[in-house]
Structures are given as C-alpha cells and as structure tokens.
Amino acid sequence: MKRREFTAGLAAASMAMGWSSAFAQAWPDKPVRMVLSQPAGSGPDATARMIGEQLSRRWGQAVVIDNRPGGQNAIGALVAAKAAPDGYTLYFATAAALVSNVYLFKNLPYDPKKDFVPVGLVGKVPFAISVNNGSRLTSLKDLVAYAKANPGKLAVANEGPKTFSGMMTRLLALQLGVEFNSVPYVSVGAGVTDTVGGQVEVLLSDVPSIAQMVKAGKLRPLAVTTAKRIAGWENVPPIAETLPGFDYAGWLAIVAPAGTPAPVIQRINRDLDAVLLDKDLAARLLAIGPMTEGAGTVDQMAAFLAAEHARWAKLTKDLNISPE
C-alpha cells in the first residue's frame, strides 16, 4: 500500500513539474504588469520603463507600468501582493518597500517577507553629501570640524526622519560624534533648491537628484555613502575612508507575488539579468539612477534581502527607532 502511495505521489509530482515546465515555456502569452509605488516621471518609474521596454522585446508582449504611489509604498506593494501569482504581475520595489518599512511602521497592510518571492536585483542607488558650491566646507573633514565646533548649527537637508536620507543623517551624526540640525523636506527637489539657494548649507540625497547641479557647478559633493567610489565621480571619496565599513545605498529590485511558479521566476530572472548586463542600457540607467551589475540569481537576491533585513534591524536599533 505504501509503495502504491509513493508511486502515485511520484507520478503527481512529475505531472506538476511537467505542467510548470509547460507553463513556463508558454509564458508570457499576454501583457505583463509591473507595479510601482512611485509616480510617473520619478526615477524608479523611468528605470522601470527602460527595463520594461527591453523585456517586452524579449517576451514579445507588452510590459505595462502600473503606477500606484502613496502610503509610504504600501499602496503599490499591497496591489502587487494581492495579485494572482501567475507570472503576469511583478513588483518593481524599493529598499523601503521590501525592507526598511518593516522597522519603521506598525501594521503594514502587507508582509514583505511572506507576500513576495525574489526575482532579481536591478541596481543600487548611491547617496551623497553635498554643499553649495560657495560653501566654506570643501571636504568631509571640514564638515566634521565645523559641526564639532558648532553643535547643532549645521543644517542638513534630507527627506525626513524615516527616509533613507534622514536616517543616514542621524547615523552619520552618531558615528562622527557630531550634532546636526536635520532639516526635513517634502521632496528631494525642494532640498536641492534650498541648498543651491543657500537656505541650507548641506544636503544628503541620492546622487541622481544632484547630478545636474553638480555638473553645472552649483553643488559640490563631499562624499558618497557607498564603500567604493562611483563611476563618473571618482574624485569624490566614500564616507568609508573616514568611517571604515560605512556602506549604504538605496536599491531597486523586482519581486513577484508569493506562489508564482518557480520556472517562470527563473525565466524572468534570466531575462532580467541579460537586459541589465547590456552595456548600453547599464549606461543609460546610471545616468538616471541605479548602478547595475546584473540581476544575480534568485538565490543571491534572497540572500541579499536577508542581509538587508539584518542591516536595517541593527541600524534602527542603533538609532533607537521604533515602528510607529
């Protein structure tokens, strides 16, 4: 009897594997939706559209960008999490949506760990400390010296206490042993405008948001938050040269609703990796945001997410931040 049960189970498993393989081969036979938590015209939106265009060519089906902004990423994340796990809905996610929100907000309407399965990493978005080009501060060393001599007087513009730039401002103050006057802005663009105009002296923001102002000579970058120097900004030192081990960046990734067939996940991962490794596309992406080295494997993406959760759990604990 047990042998019959085993044989029947093996046959059922084989049929399931055969069905999954056939499904993956037929996929996609209709447009694929890519949900974003950011509005049209944003950096992530432009990135998603570039990638979607290339994937569409490979798949012979349209990749439809579905912008669902608001709610600290929760609106878009919930839409994607509730979608049928059939391979036709993907979530183009930020680090906030998949990791940091867990440690900052109570009662999220979605569970990043349970509601999604990893597909691949799109790329990392470096942040930078910059000043008005007329500032007396010409290096991170100058900034630290001034902040120590004038506790609480150096205004640092960022996007708010529970954003990436806001927490980096607090973390830097803690690790450098200084006190900043953290000035929250409703958008990074407003912070850039006030820093250029001299209303605040220092800005902590993502690199793409200040690239044009740096090129125009209106802002001067002092340091980047990644451990290594970044392409095109080789003369800007990383904070890690002052604080060894300091290595933080925003990032973008693609995930799918939990339950999406594994063969389809592997197919999307493989095609995403090929698209991101195209030198022309990688250069176009770098001009507007993320630095990419390919999607990596599904397992590598899972390991990356686990490491990011550990990192943000420690970061929020060090900064004494509790979910609210």
Q: Is the pLDDT of residue 4 over 70?
A: no
Q: Is the pLDDT of residue 74 over 70?
A: yes
In CATH, the architecture of 31-124+249-318 is 3-Layer(aba) Sandwich (3.40)
Check residue 324 and give its pLDDT. Answer: 80
Q: What is the mean pLDDT of the chain?
A: 90
Superfamily of domain 127-241: Periplasmic binding protein-like II (3.40.190.10)
Q: Is the pLDDT of residue 187 over 90?
A: no
User: What order do you get walking across the sheet with 155-158 strand by strand?
Assistant: 181-184, 155-158, 202-206, 127-132, 219-224
Q: Is the pLDDT of residue 188 over 70?
A: yes
Quote the pTM value: 0.84
Check residue 160 and give its pLDDT. Answer: 87
Write phi, then psi, for 321 (nearest 5 degrees): -100, 125
Q: What residue segments make up the domains of the chain, in order of their start? A: 31-124+249-318, 127-241
> What is the C-alpha to C-alpha distance for residues 21 and 12, in angstroms, rounded to an integer?
14
The stretch 294-313 carries a mean pLDDT of: 95
The stretch 274-283 carries a mean pLDDT of: 95
pLDDT in tens, 79-109: 999 999 999 999 999 999 999 999 988 889 9
pLDDT in tens, 204-262: 998 988 988 999 999 999 999 998 888 888 999 999 999 999 999 999 999 999 999 99
The contacts of residue 26 (CB under 8 Å, 6+ apart) are none
Q: Is the pLDDT of residue 6 over 80?
A: no
What's the pLDDT band for 18 if we cut at 50, 70, 90?
low
What's the pLDDT band for 286 if we cut at 50, 70, 90?
confident
Cβ atoms of 257 and 89 closer than 8 Å: yes
AA letter at 200: V
Check residue 116 and give its pLDDT. Answer: 98
Helix (H), strand (E), coil (C) string for 169-224? HHHHHHHHCCCCEEEECCCHHHHHHHHHHCCCCEEEEEHHHHHHHHHCCCEEEEEE
Q: Is the pLDDT of residue 183 over 90?
A: yes
> What is the C-alpha to C-alpha distance for residues 253 and 80, in angstroms, rounded to an integer?
14
Check residue 16 and give its pLDDT. Answer: 47
